[in-house]
Structure 1
Amino acid sequence: MTIAIRQLHKHFVGEVAGLDLRKPLTDVEAREIEAAMDKYAVLVFHGQDITDEQQMAFALNFGQREDARGGNITKASEHRLNSGLNDVSNLGKDGKPLPKDSRANLFNLGNCLWHSDSSFRPIPAKFSLLSARVVNPKGGNTEFADMRAAYDALDDDTKAEIDDLVCEHSLMYSRGSLGFTEYTEDEKEMFKPVLQRLVRTHPVHRRKSLYLSSHAGKIVGMSVPEGRLLLRDLNEHATQAEFVYVHKWKLHDLVMWDNRQTMHRVRRYDQSQPRDMRRATVAGTEPTVQQQAAE
């Protein structure tokens, strides 16, 4: 069956038909999907009742698996999944929803903030692929923002001002904005800030995009208040309705997105209801800027 893609938003997002992700992709199919990601930045696949192994196999068509360590506060002994996928559910190891006041649940609420996956790592993620295994009955939509269109819409003076700026990113910045500020010394070391460019250029089509995230807490060379005001202004601009696609999850949907060209966030939902979402993350290949110790 031929792959068919229907655009869902005026700027980005393609809905893919003609692929069964339980089966290995041919080289031609993998190239088609990679090219579609370059164009649409977000792809939606419906009705994909896949295993963890099949999800990971699909992801590995597009690069290496990103090491999931260092992205949360959950101890290895408490991990629910052992397949290499990131667990972005609200479930504990026993398969039940985490207590609302548990440390892990409070930390995970940071996913409700606009972000780009792994921007807190020296080499940030390339693609993310999220599979819906249990969908909560109300809420929990995921919103995506096209950071290419957002950059294009900036005035020339703003583009000139920000094109060479560098930001500090850390999970402690995003969680701190929600009042989560207590960390062990090991966690502080694990989450120490890294540097990322504020504007990225795509390696294939060379289109520029804003590289924003709630993980960004400082701009190098600016005072903290001045830098955060600029970041807030840019975030407000980039997440206007005209740049945003809202995905309303159905069971066995798989959505993949390019973290280099988009931001996303999950919307609030009833935490007492189970939500099982599993993410395969394709590693990036290079830093956005030469790393040095962030101050």
Structure 2
Amino acid sequence: MFPWRTPCSPAFKPRFIGPFTLRFHGCHRQGTFLRSHEQAPWCRPALKISEEIAYAPGRREHMNVQQTHGLTIGPLAASGFGATVAGLAPGAITTAQKEIVLEAYRRHHGLLCFEFEGLLSADDLHALTAIFGDNEFAPGLINGIGKKAADGEENISVDDQVAALRDKGRDPYLAFIGNVDPDSLKMTPTDRKFYGEWEWHTDMSYIPVPPTFSLLHARIVPATGGDTGFCSQVLAAAALPDDLRREVSTLRIKHDATYTSSGVLRPGMSAPASPIEAHGHAHPVLRATPSGPALFLGRRTNAYVVGLPLDESEDLLNRLWAHATQEAFQYHHHWRVGQVVAWDNRMMLHMRHPVDETAARFMWRTQTKGEAVRAVTA
């Protein structure tokens, strides 16, 4: 189902087996490749999608590896978007390096994989995150940011909540995601839903101002399983059929806050009777981003198109999701310890593949403060 799973390494090259055939780690796929000046037939020229995007997966050899200011930047192998960055020292990032990283992010449409030889400290990860914006609190720690206030805690200030966390030795900007204890690093009893597939989603899109960037730092990864899929919603918007584009041009989707991407009910939440009654925030279907219009769907569970009868909302959402998650828009990342992947939530969906119940997986996660969601204007 997901043929394009590769490590992020500029040195990793596709092997040509014959006419129009690529093979990666034993997988192969037939296809017609595009020269650098061509566009895929389903690309809308009016959107002026950069030639840096290759619409046939794996075909970006016209993009040279860049070496400058101690950094090596190259395209993600077997992906129509994204880049790798090597050579960065998070504790000593120069102004020039920051600008180079941000330019790479813009040119490669919202997905960067940073290669490091070892694990980062929390300060290093925060410094890396700061390239992309101001650090935002980790979800689930501060009321209103992925966490519903418990009874009697509604009026506790953010400063008091932060102070309480720091008194416990907890970094309020750092999230732990995994099935191990953050201190002992031993596996701990974990909800079985953790091990299943996590649905396509955008981080915290259920709040009025979702975080712009998310970063994941691989601390412990299984030999197999637990890969993270990314799906470009800029490419999906560029390929949106005209009739569907017109249908959604003024519509808004309410993004559900009830469940996590693994299907676990969030603390303080109760299951809604229907998506119409689900708790969450509504955003435009088509969102403006630095790389052009992007579909902004959030997650499928309990989503609702505001103003439509439920059956019509479900039908439209099914059509949108079927289009938005086509393999042509996807990249699936197999992790190595030490890597950090950063992505722009405004233009990217992501998901996680299942993890074996005997395997450990532990990630650190940070995010940046967001901006108001702007609808695409005609």
Give the TM-score range, shorter chain: 0.7 to 0.9
Distance 1:257 1:110, change over 3 A: farther
Q: Are residue 71 (structure 1) and residue 71 (structure 2) matched?
A: no
In structure 1, the residue matched to 2:12 is: none
Q: How does 1:68-217 map to 2 (within 5 A)?
A: 68=138, 69=142, 70-71=145-146, 82=171, 84-92=173-181, 95-100=185-190, 102=191, 106=193, 112-172=198-258, 178=263, 180=264, 184=268, 192-202=279-289, 204-205=290-291, 207-214=292-299, 217=303
Alignment gaps of 5+ in structure 1 = 290-295
Counterpart-to-counterpart distance in 2, 1:264 and 1:185? 23
Question: What TM-score do the two structures reach when normalised by structure 2?
Answer: 0.65
Structure with higher helix content: 1
Largest Rg, 1 or 2? 2
Alpha carbons 1:110, 1:174 under 8 Å: kept: no
Aligned residue for 2:366, secondary structure, equals strand
Counterpart-to-counterpart distance in 2, 1:182 and 1:7? 37
In structure 2, the residue matched to 1:253 is: 339
Identify which of 50, 74, 79 aligns with 1:6.
74
Question: What TM-score do the two structures reach when normalised by structure 1?
Answer: 0.82
Identity of counterpart residues, as a percentage?
A: 28
Higher relative CO (CA 8 A, sep ≥ 6), structure 1 or 2? Answer: 1
Aligned residue for 2:126, secondary structure, equals helix
Identify which of 282, 287, 305 aligns with 1:219.
305
User: How many residues are matched?
Assistant: 277
Alpha carbons 2:147, 2:267 under 8 Å: kept: no
In structure 2, the residue matched to 1:37 is: 105
Amino acid of the residue matched to residue 193 of structure 1? G
Deviation at 1:47, TM superposition (A): 2.4
Counterpart-to-counterpart distance in 2, 1:14 and 1:182? 34
Which is further off, 229-238 or 241-250?
229-238
Aligned residue for 1:113, secondary structure, equals strand
Counterpart-to-counterpart distance in 1, 2:196 and 2:339? 23
Counterpart-to-counterpart distance in 1, 2:260 and 2:331? 22
Counterpart-to-counterpart distance in 2, 1:86 and 1:251? 17
Counterpart-to-counterpart distance in 2, 1:82 and 1:125? 18
Deviation at 1:181, TM superposition (A): 5.5
Aligned residue for 2:318, secondary structure, equals helix
Deviation at 1:182, TM superposition (A): 8.3
Alignment gaps of 5+ in structure 2 = 1-68, 151-163, 273-277
Alpha carbons 1:142, 1:247 under 8 Å: kept: yes
Post-superposition Cα deviations, 1:67-94, rounded to whole Å, max 9, x if no partner, equal 2234268x998x9953621212223466
Aligned residue for 2:279, secondary structure, equals coil
Deviation at 1:19, TM superposition (A): 1.8
Post-superposition Cα deviations, 1:24-74, rounded to whole Å, max 9, x if no partner, equal 31122112212222222111112252111110111112211122234268x
Counterpart-to-counterpart distance in 1, 2:310 and 2:96? 48
